[in-house]
Structure 1
């Protein structure tokens, strides 16, 4: 959110970091749009479903990836890449690393990264007024993973992205099969996160239904107990990896990256 594929202080830095650690590795840093400015704007305003379709096309058209690839998504990119895994099994995603991804969505917008504070203020007001209206859902990315635990029925009915990939309106067996094909699904939670509300969403947990104070882990959610995504089976097979790192949202050291995440990319 508010970033681009090739910013030398963020995604461009990660790309170079991986390339320096794994000689000869091919790294594709996804760009959504024809320019870096458009890529940044699309992180706010291009329907997440359209973004996933665009990424699926990029991956399918890249000959370097035809035998399979490891995927790493940061913040909202974590749940977007999970949607890619569920919807687009060719080429196959081998491991998915979600770094601060909000897999049960968010219910709060305390801070906003990027360069435009007026955009952040506008998004906050829009989410407060009508997160589940058709116009907002179709044109504001953050509304598409806005999960209001006090309005669960409205969320399930009107969320055009998160409610779909989390199987809130019925079971798509293809989604389930494709996600279960992952070798590892790695979820990184930032232990001092002030950006994501609730932070446990980064480990697929959320608020206990009907209130917005007490949170529960993934294993106590209906998504897990009903195994709508196959996460229960993946958990029992050792495919789910829950990692915690000290620091605020997306704050980590190169040493931590090298010792903790790099082995999943080797």
Structure 2
């Protein structure tokens, strides 16, 4: 009996050594698709609790929902999952993959309890996208394609049916985007100022934005750092510091307080080099 008690105490001590981790996958993936990374994290941080979010009742539903369940519903679903996990009650770190990054960021803004401590964003589309994946705007066909998408992206039915339409950001008509985008314009405080969004983001210890230098999925790739096209044109990309979202979302205060980190790594979209991730992320932000 004493040996059993000692084993329990050891297990509790180990698991308490590290803050739990919540992961959210990207488009077309599922919670199960992150299993390799989950195992790597558990090996590096023995005893850590890793909760890979499953949006739905199965891996199949989770994958399908990444395309058709509106982000607002997904975020509420995730909030319920996190609040019902007793091992996350004292707070957690998070890792978002592609669209899972901006969904986790919205989770901070809308579901502050239990508290998220560090948000690791891998290839997120924080300022939205204005381009079809792997289709460069300098190619005439790709340019025409995104103009075509402009015609139906903000249709109410499309916005309710296709997740990716909710972070389509048309810089050629910012007023239409702000009025009719049902997700990104809201979480970026571009329509109205939601002070709770600002206040809740300030509770983070760090927001770490990781940009993949050869990314061909996120257009423009600077959206991974909240950068985007200068309003009313679609060629010049400007950093977040020159956009309204920087002050409207309180990112300026986050950066002044040393909580907003901009990192980049060679590679295509989500081509994670584990050694780099281990050295720059796990051992810096998750190893405590």
State if a TM-score over 0.5 links the two structures.
yes
Residues 211, 188 of structure 1: alpha-carbon distance in 2 compared, 3 angstrom cutoff: same
SS of match in other structure, 1:142 = helix
Q: Give the root-mean-square deviation of aligned CA atoms.
A: 1.6
Which residue number corresponds to residue 264 of structure 1?
A: 285
Contact kept? 1:127, 1:143, Cα under 8 Å: no
Residues 42-191 of structure 1: matches in 2 within 5 Å?
A: 42-111=65-134, 127-191=149-213
* Structure 1 residue runs without a partner (length 5+): 113-122
> Which residue of 261, 267, 285 corresponds with 1:247?
267
Could you tell me how far 1:129 is from its partner in structure 2? 4.2
Give the C-alpha shift of residue 46 in structure 1. Answer: 0.5
Q: Secondary structure of the equivalent of 1:28? A: strand
In our comparison, the structure showing a higher alpha carbon Rg is 2
> CA-to-partner distance for each residue in 1:211-249, whole Å, 9 max, x for gaps?
11100001111222xx11111011111100000000110
In structure 2, the gaps of 5 or more residues are 1-26, 136-144
Distance in 1, Cα, partners of 2:86 & 2:243: 39
Distance 1:252 1:39 in 2: 22
2:150–2:170: 8 Å Cα contact kept in structure 1? no
1: CA distance, partners of 2:214 / 2:51: 30
Q: Contact between 1:190 and 1:245, CA under 8 Å: does it hold in 2?
A: yes
- Superposed displacement of residue 127, structure 1: 3.8
**CA distance, structure 1, for counterparts of residue 56 and residue 245 of structure 2:** 34
TM-score by length of 2: 0.84
Q: Which deviations, in whole Å up to 9, do the C-alpha atoms of 1:104-125 show, x marking residues without a partner?
A: 000111249xxxxxxxxxx989
Moved over 6 A (4+): 123-126
User: 30, 53, 56: which one pairs with 1:4?
Assistant: 30
Distance in 2 (CA, whole Å) between partners of 1:170 and 1:64 is 35
Shift of 1:173: 0.7
1:231 aligns with 2:251: yes
